[in-house]
Amino acid sequence: MLGSLEKRILSVLHKEKKINAREIFKALRDEGMTITYVTVNTVLSRLYKRGLVNRTTEPFRGTFRYTYEYKDIKDELIAGLLGDVNLLFGEEGIDLLKMKLEAEKGRELVAVEEKAIPVSGSAPMRIRLSRNDAQNAIIKKIEDISGQNVLACYQCGKCSAGCPMVTLMDLLPNQIIRLVQLGQIGDVLNSKTIWLCASCFSCTSRCPKGVDLAKVMEALRLLLLRKSTNYVEPSELDIDENLPQIALVSNLRKTTG
């Protein structure tokens, strides 16, 4: 696969058509990149050896210099991508990639299986994706209530790693936000996780993208509570007289509408 610098160099070549290393170096510096001429030369040589650019020589100050030209590398990139997928995931991975590419051609998403991490003996989830699910009004409502951009999460898992309640949850915190991203709100609202969240903000403090997952959990609870759907029915509670009153009040504020 191509690195970021290789992609930037190919972008310059695609725009300029035919150019030498010094001119590419200047173009990259003008774009704000902090880079050395030697590095540009090295990357260009590597691209040429891989057959990704054309290289010719031209006279220059009594000797010669290389001139590089953009080459249509679509076939080479696809072959490299398939090779990497095969190396990492085997033939099954290539078949899955082909299935997704075919689905995109028809501008529809196909059914896929997401292998969720089993928690407390839970079975893997099977979900069906569609554009309508991923763009529904409920997601917008969750973002409006919480003030968070749920799509900012890139599933690093730090929220789940630091959660003190994770061993009791049926879905991990990162799985909750992933399901919200995919529009699988029903699975989220039926889970115990949103009620077990202690709002300790460990996840919020650990998130590299600044997503306040505790606020997202609160928004999910409010979706149910605003429909007068209580998680705990006060009339069914067997209250211990030694229970701190503030703990009871806090619990009812969280779990009842």
Q: In this predicted model, what pLDDT tens digit does every residue of 138-188 receive, in sequence order?
A: 888 888 888 988 888 989 989 998 899 888 888 899 999 988 888 888 888
Among the three residues 70, 96, 118, which one is the final residue of a domain in this structure?
70
> The domain that contains 184 carries what CATH number?
1.10.1060
pLDDT of 212 reads 92
Residue 109 falls within a domain, yes or no?
A: no
Please give the chain's pLDDT, 257 residues, in tens.
567 788 888 888 888 778 888 888 988 888 888 888 888 888 888 888 878 888 888 888 888 888 888 877 666 666 666 666 666 666 666 666 666 666 655 544 333 334 444 444 445 555 565 555 556 778 888 888 889 888 889 899 899 988 998 888 888 999 999 888 888 888 888 888 888 888 888 998 989 988 999 899 888 888 887 776 666 666 666 666 676 666 666 665 666 65
Residue 146 falls within a domain, yes or no?
A: yes
pLDDT of 182 reads 84
Nearest Cα to 58, choosing from 14, 6, 12, 23? 23
Q: Which residue segment(s) compose the domain that 18 sits in?
A: 4-70
Q: Are the beta carbons of 43 and 90 closer than 8 angstroms?
A: no
Domains held by the chain: number: 2
pLDDT of 174 reads 92
pLDDT of 11 reads 84
> The domain that contains 31 carries what CATH number?
1.10.10.10
Assess whether 43 and 153 both reside in one domain: no
121: which residues sit within 8 A by CB, 6+ positions away?
A: none
Q: Are strands 18-20 and 53-60 parallel, antiparallel or unpaired?
A: unpaired
